[in-house]
Structure 1
Amino acid sequence: MTQRPLPGRRAVALGSLALAPLALAAPVLRAQPAPRIVSVGSSVTEIFYALGAETLLVGVDTTSLYPAAARKLPQVGYMRALSAEGVLALKPTLVVATTAAGPATTLDQLRGAGIEVLLLPDHYDYDSVVEKIEAIGKVTGRTAEAKALIAEGRRDMATLAAKLASVAARPRVLFLLAMSGGAPQAAGRNTAADGIIRLAGGVNAVDGYAGYRPLTPEAVIASRADVVVMPRQSVEALGGVQAVLDQPALRQTPAGRNGRVLQFDAILLLGFGPRTPQAAAELAQALHPDLVKGK
C-alpha cells in the first residue's frame, strides 16, 4: 500500500518553494554615502553649524571664522579667489556658496570635474537669510531643523520691527570698515552694512555710491553722521575709540561732537546668517537707547 504524505508537511514544503524566488529577487539595500561638502562664505558655514550638519563639511573658505570649530577645518582660500585645485584636493561631492563666490572660471572647473555647485542668494535682507537656511536644510536632510530656525528668526525680527515702529527719529549712521592711511573706507548702498543699518532702524549716512569707498574729509563732514559704527577689530587697530574721535573730519560731525562711536564684531554684524536677528537687535538697541528690551 502506497503511503500518502501528511498534509501539513506538504503544505510547508510548497510554501518554502513558493517563497524561495521572492527571497532571491529581493533588492539589497545599501546605505548612501554621506555627502562631502565644502562651504564657502561665513553665513553658509554658520548655517551648517546652526542646523547640526557640520559633520558633513570637509572644508571651508577663509571667511568662515564662526563658530571657532570651523577654523579647524581645511581651508580652500578666500571666497572670491577660490582655487579649483584646493577644492578638488578635498574630494567634495558638493560645494555650497553664495553668489559672491568666485571666480566664475573656478566654479566652472568644479562643475566640469563633476562636482555639484549650489549658489545661494547674497542679498542683504532677512528674506535671503531664510532662503539660505531652507536650501541648506534641504541638501543636508535637516528640513525640520531649518523650519525651526527660520520660525525663531522670524519671531525675533517681528519683535524688533514692532519695537522700531514707535521710533520717531532714524539716526544717520556712518559705517567705516577701516581707516588705514587716513582715508576711511565707508559703506555705501548694496552692502551688508547698509542692510543691517536699515534692519536696525537707521539711515545710511552715505548713499551716493554702492559698495565700499574711501571718503574725503569733506565727504565725512557732509555725511552729517549721528553715529559712527565700526568693526571692533578696526577700532582696536587704530588704538581705541578716542583715536577714532580724534580724526579731524569726524570731530565736525554730530557723532564726533557727541562721542557716538559704536563697535561690533564684524562677522556678527555683517554676516547675514542665522545670527542676523541678534545682530539687528543689538545694533538697534545701540542706535535707539530708549528701546525697551524684551518687549
Structure 2
Amino acid sequence: MHARGHSVRHFFEWDRSTYRLGGPHVLKHGMFKGTALAAALALSAMVSGCGTPHATQNSLTSNSSAASAISYPMTVKDDMGNTVTLKHQPMRIVSGSEGTDEILVSLVPRSRIALVTTMASNPEYSNVVAQVKGIPAWSGDDPEQALAVHPDLVLEAGYVTKSVLDQLHQAGVPMYAFSLNDFNSIADIEKNILTVGRLVGEPAKANALVANMKQDITQIEGAVQGQPRPTVLDYGSYGYAAGRDTTVDDIIRDAGGVNVAHMLNGWQKITDEQIVKWNPDVIIDSSDDAAFLKKLASDPALQSVTAVREHHLYAINSADLSSVSQYVVRAVYDVAKVLHPTAHLKAPKVMA
C-alpha cells in the first residue's frame, strides 16, 4: 500500500482513507486519517434537552422531516452494533479520525470540538488546517488525553485499539464507532456525514452539505459528458491498485474515466505484467507519493504502457484523493481536470 495518501486511502478502503481511518492507507485515506489508532468514531452523550421524551433513532441518515427533528435523550446503535445513548446535545466532541475532523468543522462551531486528530494540522493530509488551528489535538491512542477534556461525544473507528475503546466505555463516555466497511464509496461518505449531523444535532447542516456534494458531482459529470472516457489506474509505490468498492473507483468514474482495476475487489497488489496488460491511458497517484511516478516514467518494464509512453502520469493532491469527508468532491474535480483539461469545470462549493 502506499504510504499515507495511498496508505491512508488503503485503510479506509484500506485506502487513502486509511490514514484517515487508520492503516497503511490507514495512514491517510478514509475518515480515520491520522493514525491507525486515531481513526475510530465514537460518540458520547450528554448536553441538552432535560425532560424530553427518550428518542430511539433507528435511522440516522433519513432525510424525512421526521428524521430532521432531533431530540435528546437519543439512543442509537453504532455501526459496530453497540447501543449509544446521548443524554444531551454534544458540546465537547472528540474526533478520532481525520474524516470526522473535516466533517465536524462544517457542522458545529469550533467551541464544540474538544479534540481533533494530530493529522488535522498536517496540510499533506488535511483539508481543514486553518479551521482547526488552536483546537487541541490527540493521537488517538491515549484515552486519558480524551477523558481529560470531559467529552460528551467521541467519534471513533472500529479498528481502533480495543483497550482504548474499553477504557473510554468504562469511563462512561458514549462513543459512536464507524465500521471499516463504511468508507468504500462516496455514498458511504454522504451517509457518514448525515450520521454525524444527527448525532451532533445538526441534521439540516448535514443535509445541506450532502446536497452540495451531489450538486458538485453532477456538475462535473455534466461537464465531461460526451467526451471520450480514458482508462485510468490509481497506483502507488506500495504496489497496490484501487479496485471497486473504493472511493477512488467512484472518483475516477465521476471524473469521466474508466477504472482499469474495477474488476479487483478493494485494494489489491498488482504486478508490472498486469499494468502492461491493462495498458491504462492515465496513471494517477497521491501527491505525497509523486516521486514514485518519476520512477514509473523510466521503468523499462512499463515503456509500452500508454500512460507511461505518453507521459500521462499525474500526482493528485493527497488531502483530496484520500479524503473520506465532503472534500472528496475536490478529488473528483482534480481528476476531471487531468482527464478532461478542455472541459468547462466549475470549482466545487466546498472549495469556496
1:147 matched residue in structure 2: 207
Q: CA deviation at 1:92?
A: 1.9
Q: Is the 8 A contact 1:42 1:66 kept in 2?
A: no
CA distance 1:58–1:294, change in 2 (3 Å): closer
Higher helix share: 1
Q: Read off the aligned partner of 1:113 and give its amino acid letter.
A: A
Separation in 1, partners of 2:254, 2:167: 37
- Give the alignment's TM-score, normalised by structure 2: 0.62
> Which of 150, 155, 159 lines up with 1:91 in the alignment?
150
Q: CA deviation at 1:228?
A: 0.8
2:235 matched residue in structure 1: 176
Q: Read off the aligned partner of 2:260 and give its amino acid letter.
A: A
- Give the alignment's TM-score, normalised by structure 1: 0.73
Q: Is the 8 A contact 1:37 1:58 kept in 2?
A: yes
Separation in 1, partners of 2:254, 2:183: 13
Q: Read off the aligned partner of 1:197 and give its amino acid letter.
A: I
Q: Read off the aligned partner of 2:152 and give its amino acid letter.
A: T
Q: CA deviation at 1:124?
A: 3.3
Q: Which has the higher contact order (CA 8 A, sep 6+)?
A: 2
Q: Read off the aligned partner of 2:95 and give its amino acid letter.
A: S
Separation in 2, partners of 1:286, 1:244: 18
CA distance 1:71–1:210, change in 2 (3 Å): farther
Q: Is the 8 A contact 1:229 1:263 kept in 2?
A: yes
CA distance 1:63–1:248, change in 2 (3 Å): farther
Separation in 1, partners of 2:236, 2:134: 27
Moved over 4 A (4+): none
Separation in 1, partners of 2:316, 2:117: 22
2:14 matched residue in structure 1: none
1:269 matched residue in structure 2: 321
Q: CA deviation at 1:245?
A: 0.8
Separation in 2, partners of 1:177, 1:145: 36
2:241 matched residue in structure 1: 186
> Which of 63, 68, 78 lines up with 2:129 in the alignment?
68
Separation in 2, partners of 1:194, 1:177: 15
The number of residues matched between the two structures is 253
Q: CA deviation at 1:249?
A: 3.0
1:278 matched residue in structure 2: 330
Identity across aligned pairs (percent)? 27
Give ranges in structure 2 of 5+ residues lacking alignment. Answer: 1-49, 51-87, 121-125, 348-352
Q: Is the 8 A contact 1:177 1:187 kept in 2?
A: no
Give ranges in structure 1 of 5+ residues lacking alignment. Answer: 1-26
Q: Read off the aligned partner of 2:138 and give its amino acid letter.
A: V
2:339 matched residue in structure 1: 287
Q: CA deviation at 1:201?
A: 2.6
2:115 matched residue in structure 1: 59
Q: Read off the aligned partner of 1:66 and give its amino acid letter.
A: N
Separation in 2, partners of 1:206, 1:219: 10
The yes-or-no answer on 1:212 pairing with 2:270 is no
Q: Read off the aligned partner of 2:229 and give its amino acid letter.
A: R
CA distance 1:62–1:250, change in 2 (3 Å): farther
1:9 matched residue in structure 2: none
Q: What are the superposed Cα offsets for residues 39-92 of structure 1, whole Å, 9 maximum, x if unpaired?
A: 1222211111122433222222344333114365444336xxx44444334432
Q: Higher Cα Rg: structure 1 or 2? A: 1
> Which of 195, 201, 205 lines up with 1:135 in the alignment?
195
Matched residue SS, 1:155: helix
